[in-house]
Chains A and B, each alone.
Chain A
Amino acid sequence: MSSELISEYEISHSRPHAFYESYDRKEDLKHQTHYCPGCGHGNVHKMLAQAIDELGIQDRTVLISPVGCSVFAYYYFDVGNVQAAHGRAPAVATAVKRSHPQSIVVSYQGDGDLAAIGSAEILHAANRGENITVIFVNNAVYSMTGGQFAPTTLIGQKTSTTPGGRTAASEGYPLHISELLATLEAPVYIERVALGDNKQIAQAARAIRRAVENQVRGLGFSLIEVLSPCPTIWKMSPVEAQHWVHDVMEKTFPLGVFRDRTKEAQPRPLPEPAPALEDIPRILGIPDDEDAEADLPVGRLSAQDVDLHVRVAGFGGQGVLLLGEILAEAGLDAGLEVSWLPSYGPEMRSGTSNCHVRISSRSIDSPLVTLPDVLVAMNEPSLRKFDASVRPGGWVIYNGDVFPPDCERKDVRVLALPFTHLADELGDARASNMIMLGALLEITGVLPQTSIDAALRKLVRHQKWIDLDERALARGRELALNSLREALAGV
C-alpha cells in the first residue's frame, strides 16, 4: 500500500471501551477472539464498539448475539448481552427495546441467521419500524456449521450443500435483503457496505455509527448489511478473500444506500407513562370496596333452594349467547352461583350457537348442562338437536307457531309461539330473545325482576335497546302467564 494512501486514514490501535479488557467468558486465550484470521467480524465488532464509545452509550447498550460465528459476541462486548435462538434476534431485540425504550438495542446477525431461518423476524421487525439497529454480516455462506449454502450464496458458488455450485434452477437467486427491506415504508436507514478495501472499511464504520446514532435519536429501524470475508470457508488467504468481496460479491450485491429518511424522520413517540399502581384495579374495572358496598346484590333471594339448568340454542345473530349471559348475570346479582358456557369455534362459524347456563344456590360442579330444566329453542334445528335431552317435567320454549308433532314428549311442557313475529310487533324482531327470556323467567320464577334489570343495564349499552328489551321481557312474562293460565283452565 502506498504511503499517501495510508496517510488518508487514522490507524487506531486503541481498544474501544465497549470491549472487555480480558475476554473472561472465553475458556482460554482470553486476549484474542475466536474469529479466524482475515474474518470480517473482527472489523465489524470494532466499528460497533467504536460507535458505542463515541455515542457514549455503553451502559445503555444491549447486544443481541445470534446463532452463527458471532454467537459469542458477548465474549467481547462490555455491554448488556442477550444470546438469542437462531434467526430470532430481531424478535428478542423488539421486546428488549419496547421493555426499556431508553436502551440501545443492537441485533448482530449473519446471513444464515437473518436471511434464511430468521427471514420472518427481520421482515416484521423492519416493517414495524422497531427502533433498533441491525448489523447484518453477509459472507454468502453458513460459516459456523462448516460452509453450507445460504440464501445469499452467489450463483455458481460451491458450498458443502451445493457441491456443484448454486444454480438458479435449484436454489433460486441470491437474496437481496437490503433491497427487499427497502421496499417497506417503515425503515429509516438501510445501507450495504463492504470490507473489500480500506476505503470501504472506513465507509462501513461511518454507516454503522449512523445506524446506531439513528436509534439514539429515536428515529427508528436501521440496518447495515456488511459484505464480509470468510477466508476459512472460502478456502482463500485473507488477502484473496478481501479481493473476492470487492471483485466478486459486490457484483451480485451492489453497495449503496437503499433507504435514508434520517433527515425527515421524527423521533418515535415514547409510550404513555404508566398509571399509578393503585389505579390499576380501577383501570381493569375491578370494583373497589366502596363500589362493592354500593353494588350489593339488590335482588338477593331468600334461602330458597335454586338449581336451574338451562340450554339456549338458535342461529347466530338471534341473541342466544346474550340471553344466557343476562340470565347468568342476573343470577349473580341475586346472590346465586352461576356458570355460562358457550358453544364456540366451528359451531359459531357455521351459524348456529348455543350455551349452557346454570344458576344454583349451591356451588356448581359441572357447568355443562346435559339435562336441561328449560330448553330455549330459537329455531327448529335447535329443537331437534336438544329436545330429547330435556329433563322429564322440564320445559321447552320454542320459537315457532307450530310445535313439530314428532318432537312432542308427554313428560315435557311446551310454550311454542312465533316469538320473532311477536318481537317484530314490539318494534324489532331482534328482541325475540328477550321475549323468550321473559317467558323463561315467568315459568321458572327463580330470579327477581330487579336482578334482571340490573343485568340488562350491565350488558346492554344503549337506552333505546334497554327500553325495547324491558318491553320484550314484560311481553314474554305476559305470554307465559297466559299460557300457564290456559293450561290450568284446561285441566
Chain B
Amino acid sequence: MHKQLMKGNEAIVHSAILAGCRGFYGYPITPASEITEAAALYMPRTGGVFLQAESEVAAINMLYGASSAGIRCMTASSGPGISLMQEGISYMAGAELPCVIADITRGGPGLGNLGSEQSDYHQVVKGGGNGSYHTIVLAPHSAQEMADLTALAFELADRYRNPVVVMADGFVGQMMEPVEFPNAAVAPRLPDWAVAGTAQSRGNLITSLHMDINDLEAHLRKLEAKYREAERKEARAEEWFTEGAEIVLVGYGIVGRILKAVTAEARAAGINVGLLRPITLYPFPTEHFQRLARRARVFAVVEMSNGQLIEDVRLALNGARPVEFLNRMGGNVPSHDEVLALVRTLALDNLSVIKTEEEQMAHV
C-alpha cells in the first residue's frame, strides 16, 4: 500500500471505481465539480459510463435508470443540486434502488454561497423527498475517509437496496491529504432483480408505485424493517479521548478535525474532555451517546448550520445530559480558539458542580 496526495473529491472517484461503480451521471456545482471531472476522465477508461446531465433532476433519474439496470452508480452535487435530486432520491428509496450520492456541502439557503457549511444535514439526513424513507448518510472527515466511506457506501447501498449519501463539507472535498487505496478492484456484479434487457431479467419490474393501500403499507413496513436493521448494525462513530470524559464535544466533517485539535490542547491543560464524532449521521450512533452519558456531565455540539445536528444529539441523549451549542454559518468555521473558550467555560461550570456535590457529600 502506498499513499498518494489527493483531494478528497478525487479520492471518492478512485474509490468508487475500485468498488465496482460503472456509472456516473452528474451536473457540475462548486465545491463538488472535481468529482464529476474525475469521473469524466476515469469512467470511460474503466469500462464505465459517464454522462453530464442537463440538470440534477435528470442526473438522479439517470441514476434511477442505471441502478434499475443493475449497475453500481453514483452522482455528486452540493446543496442546491441535492434539493433538485430529492425527487429521484425518494423514488429510488421507494423502488429500493441502490446508488451513492456525494454531497459536498456549501452555504444556503438558496444560492447561499460557495463557502463550507453543514446546512444540508436536514435535507439529507432527514430525507428531503416525499414519503417514509431514509437515506443512509456517511460523514467523512479526511481524504482517506472520503475513499474508505465511499467504498462502504457502495456496500451498504447494495446490502440495503437504498440510496447512500456521502456527505462532506467543502473543506473535506477540497483538501489534499495522503490517501491509500486497496490495490484490487471489486468486480461489477449484476443483481438478480435488475432489468438488464436479458431473458433472465425479463420478468423484473422496478417501481415505487403500489396502488393498493395495503400493498403500500406492507411495502413501507418492509422498508421500516430494513431501516431498523441498519440502525442496529451500521451506526458508526469515532471516539477520541472519551474514556472517562466529563465534557464530550460532538461534531462531524471538518468540525471533527477542529474538535480533535481542541481536545488535544484542552487535555494538555488538564481538562477532561473527549470527542464523539458521528461517522454515520443516519443511522445515528445513539448507543455511543447513551454510553458516554453515564460518565459525561455535559455534551457540546459544534456545527456549521443552524442547529440541525443538535436535534439528533438531543434525541439520542433523551434529556439525560445538558447539550451546549456552538455554531458558525455562512462559510465561517468555528475557530479553534472559540471552541477552546467554550470548553474552558464548561470546565469551570462543571468543576463548580463537582465541588458543590463534594461539599454536599461532606455535609451528609
Which residues of A approach B to under 8 Å, CB–CB? 25, 27, 58-62, 64-65, 71, 74, 78-85, 88, 91-96, 98-100, 102-105, 120-121, 123-124, 271-275, 277-278, 280-281, 283-289, 291-292, 295, 325, 328-329, 332, 337-342, 344-346, 364-368, 370
Q: Which residues of B contact A62 (CB under 8 A)?
A: 69, 195, 197
Q: Is the CB of A283 within 8 A of B260?
A: no
Quick one: which of B288-327 are within 8 Å of A by CB? none
Partner of A325, one of B66, B115, B176: B176
- Is the CB–CB distance between A280 and B17 below 8 Å? yes
Asked if B18 and A59 sit within 8 Å, CB to CB, the answer is no
Q: Does chain A have a CB within 8 A of B258?
A: yes
A329 to B198, CA, bound (A): 49
B183 with A92: CB separation less than 8 A: no
Partner of B61, one of A85, A338, A366: A85
Which stretch of B44-52, B118-126, B131-139, B220-228 is in the interface?
B44-52
Known: A280-B18, A346-B115. A88 touches B196 (CB 8 A): no
B161 to chain A, nearest CB (A): 15
Closest Cβ of chain B to A478, distance in Å, is: 28
User: CA A91 – CA B207 in complex, angstroms?
Assistant: 15
Given contacts A120-B54, A280-B185, A82 and B62 within 8 Å (CB-CB) = no
Chain B hits for A79, CB < 8 A: 202
Are B171 and A367 in contact, with the CB atoms below 8 A? yes
Q: A274-B46, A284-B18 are in contact. Are A82 and B209 (CB under 8 A)?
A: no
Please name all residues of chain B whose beta carbon is closer than 8 Å to the beta carbon of A328 when the two chains form the complex. 5, 176
Q: Does B81 contact A (CB under 8 A)?
A: no
* B59 to A: closest C-beta gap in Å: 8
Report whether A287 and B197 are in contact in the complex, using a CB–CB cutoff of 8 Å.
no
Instruction: Give every chain A residue within 8 A of B212 (Cβ-Cβ).
Output: 27
B353 at the interface (CB under 8 A from A): no
Q: Do A273 and B197 contact each other (CB < 8 Å), given the known contacts A96-B68, A292-B2, A366-B258?
A: no
Q: Apart from A65-B207, A345-B113, what are 18 other A-B pairs with CB-CB below 8 Å? A: A78-B202, A83-B207, A92-B65, A92-B68, A99-B22, A99-B65, A100-B197, A103-B197, A120-B55, A121-B54, A275-B47, A286-B2, A344-B30, A345-B115, A345-B170, A365-B258, A365-B260, A368-B257
Q: A271-B44, A272-B44, A341-B175 are in contact. Are A103 and B196 (CB under 8 A)?
A: yes
**26 pairs from A and B in contact (CB 8 Å cutoff):** A61-B197, A74-B207, A81-B205, A83-B208, A88-B61, A91-B62, A95-B51, A95-B61, A95-B62, A95-B69, A104-B197, A123-B54, A274-B22, A280-B46, A281-B18, A289-B183, A295-B2, A325-B176, A328-B5, A337-B178, A338-B5, A339-B176, A341-B174, A344-B170, A367-B171, A367-B177
Contacts of B51 in A (CB 8 A): 94-95, 98
- In the complex the two chains form, is B202's CB within 8 Å of A58's CB? yes
Q: Does B329 count as interface, using CB distance less than 8 angstroms? A: no
Determine the chain B residues whose CB is within 8 A of the CB of A295 once the complex forms. 2
Where chain A touches its partner, the secondary structure class is mixed
Which one of A74, A278, A367 contacts B175 once the chains associate, using CB atoms below 8 Å? Answer: A367
Query: Does B230 touch A at the CB level, under 8 Å?
Result: no
Q: Is B201 an interface residue (CB 8 A)?
A: yes
Task: Tell me if B205 and A25 are in contact (CB < 8 A).
Answer: yes
Chain B neighbourhood of A105, CB < 8 A: 197
Q: Which residue from chain B places its CB closest to the CB of A342 in the assembled complex?
A: B174
Contact partners of B261 in chain A: CB under 8 A: 365-366
Min CB distance B214 to A, Å, is 10
Could you say which residues of chain B place their CB within 8 Å of the CB of A366? Answer: 257-258, 260-261, 336
A80–B197 alpha-carbon span in the complex (Å): 6
Please give me the residue from chain B that is nearest to A100 by CB atom. B197
Proximity string of chain B (186-214) to chain A, C-beta cutoff 8 Å, 1 when within and 0 when not: 01000000011111011011111101100
Partner pick for B54 among A124, A280, A368, CB 8 A cutoff: A124
Complex contacts, A278 vs chain B, CB 8 Å: 184-185
> Which size bracket describes the interface of B in this complex?
35 or more
Complex Cα gap A321–B257 (Å): 22
Q: Are B49 and A84 in contact (CB under 8 A)?
A: no
Q: Does B333 contact A (CB under 8 A)?
A: yes
Are B209 and A71 closer than 8 Å at their CB atoms?
yes
Complex Cα distance, B257 from A366, in Å, reads 5
**B31 touches A (CB below 8 Å):** yes
A345 touching B175 in the complex, CB below 8 Å, given contacts A85-B87, A92-B62, A100-B69:
no
Q: Which of A58, A278, A344 has the most CB of B within 10 A?
A: A344
Contact (Cβ within 8 A) A341 B53 = no
- The reply to whether the CB of B355 lies closer than 8 angstroms to some CB of chain A is no
Interface residues of B in 245-284 (CB under 8 A from A): 254, 257-258, 260-261, 264
Is B205 a contact partner of A91 (Cβ separation < 8 A)?
Answer: no
Instruction: In the A-B complex, list the 5 residue pairs whose CB atoms are closest, starting with the nearest.
Output: A274-B47, A103-B197, A345-B114, A95-B65, A83-B207
> Once the chains are docked, how many angstroms separate the CA of A287 from the CA of B4?
9
| A82-B58 contact, Cβ under 8 Å, with A281-B181, A341-B171 | no
In the complex, which residues 42-89 of chain B have their Cβ closer than 8 Å to any Cβ of chain A?
Answer: 42, 44-49, 51, 53-55, 57-59, 61-66, 68-71, 73, 87-88
Max count, chain B CB within 10 A of own CB: residue among A273, A289, A337, A368 = A368
B187 x A277 contact (CB < 8 A): yes
Q: B296 → chain A, closest Cβ, in Å?
A: 21
Chain B residues near A283 (CB-CB < 8 A): 42, 45-46
Q: Which of A102, A295, A329, A365 has the most CB of B within 10 A?
A: A365
Interface pair A284/B49, CB less than 8 Å apart? no
Name the A residues within 8 Å of B154 (CB-CB): none
